[in-house]
Amino acid sequence: MTKCATAGRIHVLALTVLLAACATPQSRAPLYDQFGKLEGLNAVVDGLVERIHANAQIAPLFANTDMARFHQLLVEYLCMTIGGPCTYTGEELVEVHTGLDITEAEFNSLVEDLIDVMQERNIPRAAQNELLDRLAPTRKDIIYQ
Ligand code: HEM
């Protein structure tokens, strides 16, 4: 075998090892772990609550809300949604949001706040998208109720 062919084989091997290493670590971790478990979720919801208060488009909707209860229930809901060991103890989302008449724009605005917080917390992009995909079906229960 020539020197070049041997070098070529070594390169292929190195590439295979490298690709395998790239595919494994966080992408295969459970979604709940990728969010940093309960501690990470609490931090995400802390950040979201801060942003809701600072977001003039949606803050008024929360004027009469008990934010401690909202925080607790949202952590439970998100935890359950990403396969964590939590039970959501609140009411059905459709009931909770009935009477608020949340518009599509308001819905999107809150989701943008959520994305910003997840980004700030360095949640892997694929994990963010997985949560958003799982939340998407709730949209119909939340808007225009
Ligand atoms: C993205 C999906 C959403 C989920 C999973 C969700 C989840 C929740 C949960 C768990 C609660 C607490 C329930 C309770 O107090 O019993 C809640 C309350 C509330 N949500 Fe949402 N929510 C979503 C979207 C939105 C959006 C887009 C808005 C407005 C822009 C919104 C506005 C509110 C308000 C104002 C309350 C408090 C209601 C009250 O004080 O009675 N939610 N939501």
Q: Which two tokens stand for residue 70?
A: 């909202």
Tell me if 67 is assigned to some domain. Answer: yes
Q: Encoding tokens for residue 28?
A: 């295969």
What pLDDT does 132 receive? 98
In a domain, 25, yes or no: no
- 22 in a structural domain: no
pLDDT (0 to 100) of residue 52: 98
Q: How far apart are CA 132 and CA 81, in angstroms?
A: 10
Q: How far is the CA of 96 from the centre of ligand 1 (A)?
A: 7
Number of domain units in the chain: 1
Q: Is residue 18 part of a domain?
A: no
The best mutation among 67, 100, 111 to test binding of ligand 1, ranked by most ligand atoms within 8 Å of the C-beta, falls on: 100
Instruction: Count how many Cα atoms sit within 13 Å of the Cα of residue 4 in the half-sphere of its side chain.
Output: 0
Determine how many CB atoms are found less than 10 A away from the CB of residue 121.
Answer: 16
Task: Output the CA torsion sign for 39, 41, 47, 53.
Answer: negative
* Residue 10 resides in a domain: no
Residue 92 lies in domain: 30-142
In a domain, 9, yes or no: no
Query: What's the CATH code of the domain at 99?
Result: 1.10.490.10
Q: Which residue ranges of the chain lie beneath pLDDT 50?
A: 13, 15-19, 24
Distance CA(119)–CA(123), nearest Å, equals: 6
Alpha-helical regions (H) of 55-124:
67-81, 93-97, 104-120
Beta bridge partners of 102: 143
Phi, psi values for residue 58, rounded to 5°: -120, -15
Q: Is residue 21 part of a domain?
A: no
How far is it, in rounded angstroms, from Cα 58 to Cα 70?
15
Ligand 1 near 65 CB (within 6 A): yes
Task: Decide if 110 is inside a domain.
Answer: yes
